[in-house]
């Protein structure tokens, strides 16, 4: 029976004349040329994409690690990549500069990143990150680098055990968690490193507020001052009542004398000089609007303490008034606390100024702060004029006696705070070579930017590709065979 089907098929097939094939050779060769053109184009695209992905990594050469004593603060910094690798992931050695701020590179979301980020620039120009979940972070205040640039002190650090204070070694990426004076595991903030780097002043506060301000409704967290000896791990409470943490002006809390034996401390409008046991040598009231200049307030010889006095808006200030503030420098005699003369640093116009130290014993290195666009100060609302929310950008400058200043680091507007290792600062090693941050090493977060790219490809490119292919097939079949 199938033989009958065979016969029927053969008889049916006999009715078909041979197809015309005049143009098939030419059409086939046209298709062959198009294939080769497409293949070459695809190859070029693949090579271009591969080159775009790999060449930056190939071309990127970290600066050679300078010999000890030759490292310098880079003359310029860039906002790090959102996915920039961490110190723990790939430690790059001692830092030349730390900075924090805004933008994807310096602030993330805790959903898949970290709210607080601090960029650490190594001596080879490489960028690494310190990450802090839960809150924006201000370097130089909540996070401070040691005088030699090797260690960073902070209250907590992502990826480490909970502790009162965490000290990170930038050379190996390891962090040491330290317990508080009462065995507490919360909450400390560094105030100032001792010049020798063996101890650090820390502000301690309870984990939970002990009450609420009846006027503002904000929680009250009484702070105290603790001196932590990192070599022994012993901590000593120097001052029990520092005030409510959230009302402290962190820019002017305390400063070490150059020999590390004395501490100038702010409590309200009063400034005191303490020794390392907490004994008070003198106390004086600076009056409203006058503050300790910052962690670098002590003059290089230790005989004077710099202060800044505000000329301008103090209580109810809009952004313009904040930006128009002027700060005048003055000095206290370190031995007695009385006003004295000192290097004639010119007035600075800024929302705030914070002294970090003295360059080569003559120029005062300071951060000047401009207000954020929507910054506004009200009398009864806590306002920290070097805080993350209040600052629009910060600039590191050297203020010369007799007037004039130099911008030490060319930084993008996203940078809201910086911290410089004291050794580099005092030896005047600024203007060092700078490299843009390399995209690698990266955190897994690098995959995130690929998601919208894939969505765009799927949503737009794929339908276009299908449409083009369908059209080409029709042309291949119709016009191609007609010898077009």
Partner 1 sequence: MDPEESFREYVSGRVAALSRAAYLLTGDRHLAEDLVQLTLVRVARHWERLVSRGDPDAYVRRTLYTQHVSMWRRRWRGVDLHAQPPEASTPDSTAGLVGALMVRDALRRLAPKQRAVLVLRYFEDLTEAEAADALGCSVSTVKSQTRDALARLRTLAPELAELVGGSSVGDSSIGAASAGDSSVSASSVGREGKR
Positions that interact with partner 1 (CB under 8 A): 1-6, 8-21, 23-25, 27-29, 31-32, 35, 473, 476-478, 480-482
Instruction: State the nearest-atom distance from the C-beta of 1 to partner 1, in Å.
Output: 4
Output the six-digit token pair for 445: 């977060």
- Element of type H or E holding 475: helix 462-477
Nearer to partner 1, 61 or 471 (CB): 471
Instruction: State the nearest-atom distance from the C-beta of 467 to partner 1, in Å.
Output: 14
Nearer to partner 1, 211 or 463 (CB): 463
Nearer to partner 1, 17 or 459 (CB): 17
As a whole number of Å, the end-to-end CA separation of the chain is 48
CA pseudo-torsion sign 151, 153, 157, 162: positive
Nearer to partner 1, 33 or 174 (CB): 33
SS (H, E, C) 163-207: CCEEEEECCCCCEEEECCCCCCCCCEEEEEECCCCCEEEEEECCC
Q: What is the DSSP letter of 95?
A: E
Instruction: State the nearest-atom distance from the C-beta of 484 to partner 1, in Å.
Output: 12
Output the six-digit token pair for 82: 């959102």
Question: Is-contact 261 222, C-beta < 8 A?
Answer: no
Q: Is 208 helix (H, G, I), strand (E, B) or coil?
A: coil
Nearer to partner 1, 376 or 472 (CB): 472
Instruction: State the nearest-atom distance from the C-beta of 460 to partner 1, in Å.
Output: 24
Nearer to partner 1, 371 or 480 (CB): 480
Instruction: State the nearest-atom distance from the C-beta of 472 to partner 1, in Å.
Output: 12
Distances (CA, A) of 425 to 98, 123, 242, 397, 412: 13, 14, 29, 11, 21
Instruction: State the nearest-atom distance from the C-beta of 44 to partner 1, in Å.
Output: 22
Nearer to partner 1, 32 or 174 (CB): 32
Nearer to partner 1, 134 or 477 (CB): 477
Instruction: State the nearest-atom distance from the C-beta of 36 to partner 1, in Å.
Output: 10
The DSSP-derived string for 215-256 is TT--EE-EEEEEEEETTT--EEEEEEEEEEGGGS-GGGSEEE
Nearer to partner 1, 180 or 480 (CB): 480
Instruction: State the nearest-atom distance from the C-beta of 20 to partner 1, in Å.
Output: 7
Instruction: State the nearest-atom distance from the C-beta of 87 to partner 1, in Å.
Output: 56
Distances (CA, A) of 255 to 260, 261, 282, 386: 9, 11, 15, 17
CB-count burial class (<10 Å; 0-12, 13-18, 19+) for 23:
middle
Closest residue by Cα to residue 91 from 126, 63, 59, 56? 126
Distances (CA, A) of 125 to 92, 437, 438: 9, 8, 10
């Amino acid at each position: 029976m199938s033989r009958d089907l065979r016969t029927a098929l053969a008889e049916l097939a006999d009715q078909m004349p041979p197809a015309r094939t005049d143009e098939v050779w030419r059409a086939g060769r046209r298709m062959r040329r198009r294939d080769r053109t497409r293949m070459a184009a695809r190859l070029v695209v693949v090579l271009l994409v591969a080159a775009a992905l790999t060449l930056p990594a190939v071309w990127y050469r970290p600066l050679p690690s300078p010999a000890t004593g030759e490292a310098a603060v880079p003359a310029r910094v860039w906002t790090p990549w959102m996915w920039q690798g961490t110190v723990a992931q790939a430690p790059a050695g001692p830092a030349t500069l730390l900075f924090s701020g805004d933008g994807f590179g310096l602030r993330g979301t805790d959903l898949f990143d970290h709210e607080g980020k601090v960029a650490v620039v190594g001596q080879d120009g490489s960028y690494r990150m310190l990450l802090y979940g839960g809150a924006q972070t201000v370097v130089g205040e909540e996070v401070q680098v040691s005088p030699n640039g090797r260690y960073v002190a902070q209250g907590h650090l992502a990826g480490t055990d909970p502790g009162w204070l965490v000290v990170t070694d930038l050379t190996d990426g390891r962090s040491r968690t330290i317990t508080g004076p009462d065995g507490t595991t919360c909450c400390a903030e560094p105030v100032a490193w001792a010049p020798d780097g063996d101890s650090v002043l820390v502000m301690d506060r309870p984990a939970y507020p002990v009450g609420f301000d009846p006027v503002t409704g904000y929680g009250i967290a009484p702070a105290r001052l603790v001196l932590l000896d990192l070599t022994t791990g012993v901590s000593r409470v120097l001052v029990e009542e520092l005030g409510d943490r959230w009302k402290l002006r962190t820019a002017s809390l305390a400063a070490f004398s150059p020999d590390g034996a004395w501490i100038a401390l702010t409590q309200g409008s009063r400034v005191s000089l303490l020794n390392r046991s907490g004994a008070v040598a003198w106390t004086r009231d600076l009056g409203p609007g006058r503050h300790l200049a910052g962690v670098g307030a002590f003059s290089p010889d230790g005989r004077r303490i710099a202060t800044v006095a505000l000329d301008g808006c103090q209580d109810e200030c809009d952004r313009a008034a904040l930006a128009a503030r002027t700060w005048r420098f003055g000095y206290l005699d370190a031995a007695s606390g009385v006003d004295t003369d000192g290097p004639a640093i010119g007035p600075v116009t800024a929302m705030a100024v914070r002294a970090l130290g003295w360059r080569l014993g003559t120029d005062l290195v300071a951060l000047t702060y401009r207000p954020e666009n929507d910054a506004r100060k009200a009398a009864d609302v806590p306002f920290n004029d070097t805080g993350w929310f209040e600052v629009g950008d910060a600039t590191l400058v050297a203020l010369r006696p007799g007037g004039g200043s130099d911008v030490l680091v060319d930084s993008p507007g996203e940078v809201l705070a910086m911290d410089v290792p004291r050794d580099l600062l005092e030896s005047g090693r600024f203007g060092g070579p700078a490299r843009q941050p390399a995209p690698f090493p990266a955190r897994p977060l690098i995959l995130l930017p690929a998601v919208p790219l894939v969505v765009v490809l799927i949503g737009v490119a794929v339908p276009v590709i299908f449409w083009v292919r369908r059209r080409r097939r029709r042309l291949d079949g119709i016009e191609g065979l007609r010898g077009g």
